[in-house]
């Protein structure tokens, strides 16, 4: 296709997606997976989230007590709203936010804390202008559409495809992709927009998202801009806190290859919204809007401190990841008030050690381009082509992460030499005999990140609910060398991590370091976890994850790029190479 045809195709696709949201559910072609059925009765909690099992008919005593206390607080908050700017309200605001904002007042409180009313008055008509520009020019529409379809799938307002809230989320994100063209759209922003829309209208959510990214109090722009500079800085700060206050736990996590990016990525990326129960996540969000980003390190430290005893009993990477990513979201193990009190204690503890705050945003974490000023996208952006080379920001993050992982590797190598343990055995002895290199599982979502997006994998960093290969799972390998990291952090090549239009790569095989190999965009390695009814299982295979990869290997040869790949063998067989699947 020539350039004119490519531009026409992109414009037609953008128009088609917008028309689907404009029409809503009327006449829409909705796939079954997009619109799952559910029971209305006994399944939805007070926040609107749907549960797999029916909720109990009777409330327990703790829930009744909590509801009674909240109703008492309603009266106090009503009084505060009547005289919000008084010195009395300012004195009491912090303590009352920490005690809990009544759910019925969350929208009002968030609107005030974010200063949305003033922004709407100063920028009257700007939201509609940006949405109009998005209809004509936004290059992010395909990715936004894919994320809207899978965000907050367990909430009654977002459950149905093209529902009112889904449409609002799409419009907010589309408009913001034009308002802040330096970021455009990055996965993770849909979590923020969806959360704001639960308590605000469409335009309020747009300006709320703008404040979160651009105000120095929150400065989430640094989390989402190219290269994720603030994310990397907060990860490093978390590691310092762990090394000082929880050194034994950190050492165990490092030995099992559980880098902090595996469990803490979404703690910072979406402010704990996908790693904690709903009620606790809302309490954390209330405090975040009041205090700003300085509270994030204390919350992360609190989570690890409260669950130190359980984590110290674990012996494998999968145990750590399953516990921190999945189990805590379902059952945190502590009531919300106890957690918030622990957060306050952690803030005091970190302040004494001068580790309470990683510092103000650095210059490259702040916006550099004016907002709301239209600049026509480049041809490559319009047609969805990715850049051939890494940007400077991406290269800096790659180098920082490689250096961080090498430091842990060197420390472990020194430890092995001191104990005369053969290379490749230390991890097995400390992690219950499991192979940490094969511990990460590739998570592929057919509605995932768009490979043709100009920064496809950057937008895929927060795509999955459970951190996996799509969330840089290569860092789960404590013995991965810098070459392996370079290959897996390739956000532009055909083997980019987390881009659904290409194959994700994860390290597999023996823990023994292998010679560095030349990176090739035509070779990928995928861990294929076959389940019941799949490829025949070897009887001697251990059931604990990560499984050895010997029985799960297949080879696919592509003789002609224009033809369908041919699978040579679907049954287990041994390969000379220990690297898993070879695609040539």
pLDDT, tens digit (0-9, with 9 covering 90-100), for 355-393: 999 999 999 999 998 898 888 877 777 676 655 555 555
Other beta carbons within 10 Å of 488: 27
CA distance 250 to 263: 13
Q: Mean of the pLDDT values across residues 4-16? A: 87
Between vectors from CA 109 to CA 145 and to CA 159, what angle results, nearest 5°?
30
Distance set, CA 399 to CA 507, 514, 562 (Å): 19, 21, 36
Q: Binning pLDDT at 50, 70 and 90, where does residue 288 land?
A: very high
- Beta-carbon contacts of 216 under 8 Å, excluding residues fewer than 6 positions away, are 360, 361, 366
Q: Binning pLDDT at 50, 70 and 90, where does residue 33 land?
A: confident
- Residue written as tokens 């408009």? 175
CA distance 154 to 176: 25
CA distance 110 to 98: 14
- Residue written as tokens 């994320």? 147
Alpha helices in 54-163 (DSSP H): 61-82, 87-99, 106-113, 116-122, 126-137, 141-148
Q: Which residue has the higher pLDDT, 257 or 530?
A: 257
| Residue 168 clears pLDDT 60, i.e. is over it | yes
Burial of residue 48 (number of CB atoms within 10 Å: 0-12, 13-18, 19+): middle
pLDDT at 291: 96
pLDDT at 55: 56
Asked if 361 contacts 222 with a C-beta cutoff of 8 angstroms, the reply is yes
Mean pLDDT of the chain: 74
Q: Binning pLDDT at 50, 70 and 90, where does residue 545 land?
A: very low
pLDDT at 498: 35
Write out 117-130 in H/E/C secondary structure.
HHHHHHCCCHHHHH
pLDDT at 385: 60
Token code pair at residue 363: 């210059």
Average the pLDDT over each of 121-135, 341-355, 526-540 and give the range with the smallest value: 526-540
Stated as kind and residue range, the H or E segment containing 241 is: helix 229-245
Question: Quick one: which of 402, 480, 404 has its CA closest to 240?
Answer: 404
CA distance 36 to 39: 10
pLDDT at 227: 87
| Residue 219 clears pLDDT 50, i.e. is over it | yes
Question: Quick one: which of 572, 524, 582 has its CA closest to 549?
Answer: 572
CA distance 359 to 258: 26
pLDDT at 242: 96
Asked if 278 contacts 191 with a C-beta cutoff of 8 angstroms, the reply is no
SS3 305: helix
| Residue 231 clears pLDDT 50, i.e. is over it | yes
* pTM of the predicted protein model: 0.68
pLDDT at 503: 32
Asked if 431 contacts 316 with a C-beta cutoff of 8 angstroms, the reply is yes
pLDDT at 561: 57
CA distance 472 to 525: 14
């Amino acid at each position: 296709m020539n350039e004119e045809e490519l531009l026409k195709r992109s414009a037609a696709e953008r128009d088609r997606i917008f028309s689907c949201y404009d029409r809503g559910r009327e006449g829409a072609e909705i796939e079954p997976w997009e619109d799952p059925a559910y029971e209305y009765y006994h399944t939805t909690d007070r926040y609107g989230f749907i549960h797999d099992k029916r909720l109990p008919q009777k409330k327990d005593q703790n829930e009744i007590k909590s509801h009674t206390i909240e109703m008492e607080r309603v009266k106090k908050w009503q009084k505060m709203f009547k005289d919000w700017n008084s010195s009395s309200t300012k004195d009491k605001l912090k303590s009352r936010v920490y005690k809990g904002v009544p759910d019925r007042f969350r929208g009002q409180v968030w609107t005030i804390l974010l200063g949305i009313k003033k922004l709407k008055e100063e920028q009257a008509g700007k939201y509609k202008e940006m949405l109009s520009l998005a209809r004509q020019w936004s290059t992010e529409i395909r990715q936004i559409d894919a994320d809207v379809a899978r965000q907050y799938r367990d909430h009654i307002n977002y459950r149905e495809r093209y529902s009112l809230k889904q449409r609002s989320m799409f419009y907010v994100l589309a408009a913001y992709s034009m308002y802040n063209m330096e970021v455009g759209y990055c996965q993770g922003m849909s979590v923020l927009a969806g959360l704001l829309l639960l308590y605000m209208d469409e335009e309020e959510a747009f300006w709320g998202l703008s404040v979160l990214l651009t105000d120095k109090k929150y400065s989430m722009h640094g989390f989402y801009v190219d290269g994720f500079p603030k994310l990397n800085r907060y990860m490093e700060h978390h590691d310092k806190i762990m090394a000082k206050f929880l050194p034994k736990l950190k050492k165990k996590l490092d030995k099992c290859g559980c880098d902090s990016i595996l469990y803490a990525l979404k703690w910072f990326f979406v402010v704990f919204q996908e790693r904690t129960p709903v009620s606790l996540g809302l309490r954390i969000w209330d405090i975040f809007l009041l205090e700003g980003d300085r509270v994030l390190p204390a919350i992360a430290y609190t989570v690890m401190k409260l669950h130190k005893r359980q984590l110290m009993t674990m012996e494998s990477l999968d145990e750590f990841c399953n516990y921190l990513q999945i189990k805590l979201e379902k059952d945190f193990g502590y009531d919300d008030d106890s957690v918030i009190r622990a957060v306050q204690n952690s803030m005091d503890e970190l302040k004494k050690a001068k580790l309470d705050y990683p510092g103000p945003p650095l210059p490259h974490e702040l916006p550099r381009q004016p907002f709301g000023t239209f600049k026509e996208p480049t041809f490559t952006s319009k047609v969805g082509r990715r850049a051939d080379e890494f940007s400077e920001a991406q290269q800096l993050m790659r180098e920082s992460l490689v250096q961080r992982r090498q430091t842990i590797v060197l420390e472990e190598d020194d430890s092995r030499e001191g104990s005369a343990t053969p290379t490749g055995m230390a991890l097995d002895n400390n992690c219950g005999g499991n192979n940490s290199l094969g511990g990460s599982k590739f998570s592929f979502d057919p509605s995932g990140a768009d490979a043709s997006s100009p920064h496809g994998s950057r937008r895929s960093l927060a795509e999955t609910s459970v951190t996996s290969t799509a969330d840089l799972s290569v860092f789960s390998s404590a013995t991965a060398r810098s070459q392996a990291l370079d290959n897996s952090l390739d956000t532009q090549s055909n083997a980019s991590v987390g881009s659904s239009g290409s194959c994700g790569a994860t390290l597999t095989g023996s823990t023994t370091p292998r010679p560095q190999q030349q990176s090739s965009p035509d070779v990928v390695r995928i861990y294929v976890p076959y389940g019941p009814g799949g490829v025949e299982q070897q009887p001697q295979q251990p059931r604990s994850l990560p499984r050895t990869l010997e029985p799960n290997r297949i080879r696919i040869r592509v003789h002609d790029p224009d033809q369908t790949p041919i699978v040579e063998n679907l049954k287990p067989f041994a390969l000379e190479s220990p690297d898993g699947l070879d695609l040539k």
